Amino acid sequence: MAGFIIQMAMISTYFTYGIFFEPVSTEFGWSRTVLPGAHALSEFVLGFLAIAAGGLTDRFGPRIIIVTCASFLGIGYLLMSQINTIWHLYLFFGVIVGIGMSGCMAPMTSTIARWFVRRRGMMTGIVLSSASVGTIIMAPLARWFISTYGWRTSYIIVGIIVLVFIIAAAQFLRRDPGKMGLLPDGDTEVKVESLDLPAKDLSLSQTIRTRQFWMICTIGFCTAFCSFIVMIHIVLHGTGLGMSAASAANIIAIIGGAGLAGTLMMGGIADRIGYKLAYTICFTLGSVAFLWLLAAKEAWMLYLFAVILGLANGGSRTVMTPMAARLFGLGSLGTIMGCNHFSATIGAAIGPLLAGVIFDITNSYHYAWLICGALMVICVIISLLLKPIPGKGGTDNPGRSL
């Protein structure tokens, strides 16, 4: 439950940046490149620091890391209510919020992997579904806050939500069940064949020399590139097609709702059919979603896009950490996931910025959506090529397929 609350508060508030985009841009007259630029800086900062956050979690546990990051995140949002110049935006959101978000994934997902083995996919899905739950709530709520109180007061509210909920929930976190005299999955006796034994773990230096590591990092880059273009620009794309701001904001809420279904369903499904096949299904759905978006001109078509993409995003997020644990083991999983998160943040930084440049040049998002569709196809190909590391890694059963 603590992990659920933390993920919900961190990710859902971060995704409201696209909803604040329009009123902030309108007040200051900033282009569609300026605001994505601050988001890009934030992604680079959190990406670099995510590696450190994952490594520190491996050593000290998640609680102190998440409390520290939540403090930066909440303060960053509070300061966002005071921006008046571009350098304020880049410092408060790009740097301070970026520092805060560095603890959003690697500490939490690596901790889940240590607490669960047999139900790792399902439990990862349940915790990560909180981001979708939060998005369902926060997208329309942020729009209501802005229309009722203005965007400055709304950022103060968001900052308070982060500080209160995340810091309180983090007090219940522990690195692994052994710290509390417990076993993974709630077992009362050790079942050797079901555990990821330390002898099978790969170190970080061993991991980065494998093809599989770079393959999952490429997947992380591509999925984040596409997802964040959508989360930052889809509201503006919808209003450009004639939708009201409230209706366009619902696209993000629908992505969140479908993402909830995707995370809850795909976690359990992946435990049964394998992570490789689950990955392939998710990225195939993502390819279909962007192909559909290229032709979508009406509200219902954008809503259907949101459903398909949400299922794909939710499912692929759920599979990532269990896949890494299966491939590389648990010994350095926090650091490995931090590296993967770094690759994702590069995509998340470049994607929205590039989409803004494309729009400023062509007055259309058509080529941005086309690029996203191509990257999803690349992810399908990579997922089909993923194979276990012979004789190494943290596979639950040597020789078992992905």
Q: Would residue 22 count as lying in a domain?
A: yes
Residue 243 above 50 pLDDT? Answer: yes
Distance, CA of 379 to CA of 223 (rounded, Å):
8
Which of 93-102, 183-192, 350-359 is the least confident region? Answer: 183-192
Is residue 132 within 8 Å of 257, Cβ to Cβ? Answer: yes
Predicted confidence (pLDDT) per residue in 223-237, tens digit:
999 998 998 899 889
Q: Give the chain's domain count.
A: 1
Inter-axis angle of helices 17-28 and 245-273, nearest 10: 150
Residue 399 above 60 pLDDT? Answer: no
Which of 82-91, 148-157, 251-260 is the least confident region? Answer: 251-260
Is residue 36 within 8 Å of 57, Cβ to Cβ? Answer: no
Residue 204 above 50 pLDDT? Answer: yes
For residue 244, the tally of other CB atoms under 10 A from its CB is: 11
* CA 151 to chain CA mean position, Å: 24
pTM tops 0.85, yes or no: no
Q: Would residue 391 count as lying in a domain?
A: no
Confidence bin at 183 (pLDDT 50/70/90): low
Q: Would residue 45 count as lying in a domain?
A: yes
Q: Would residue 62 count as lying in a domain?
A: yes
Residue 81 burial (CB < 10 Å; 0-12/13-18/19+)? middle
Residue 341 above 90 pLDDT? Answer: no
Tell me what percent of the residues of the chain surpass a pLDDT of 90: 35
Distance, CA of 341 to CA of 220 (rounded, Å):
7
Q: Would residue 183 count as lying in a domain?
A: no
Higher pLDDT, 189 or 72: 72
- For residue 317, give the CATH number of its domain: 1.20.1250.20
Q: Would residue 402 count as lying in a domain?
A: no
Is residue 334 within 8 Å of 118, Cβ to Cβ? Answer: no
Average pLDDT over residues 89-95: 94
Mapped onto helix, strand or coil, the DSSP state of residue 92 is helix
Q: Would residue 185 count as lying in a domain?
A: no
Residue 196 above 50 pLDDT? Answer: no
Q: And the tokens for 309?
A: 């993409």
Higher pLDDT, 384 or 264: 384
Is residue 245 within 8 Å of 239, Cβ to Cβ? Answer: yes
Residue 393 above 60 pLDDT? Answer: no
Average pLDDT over residues 360-374: 94
Q: Would residue 395 count as lying in a domain?
A: no
Tell me what percent of the residues of the chain surpass a pLDDT of 70: 87
* Domain hosting residue 351, numbered range: 2-175+195-385
Say what the pLDDT of residue 185 is. 54
DSSP string, 145-180: HHHHH-HHHHHHHHHHHHHHHHHHHHTT--S-GGGG
Residue 171 above 80 pLDDT? Answer: yes
Predicted confidence (pLDDT) per residue in 4-32, tens digit:
788 788 888 887 887 887 788 888 888 76
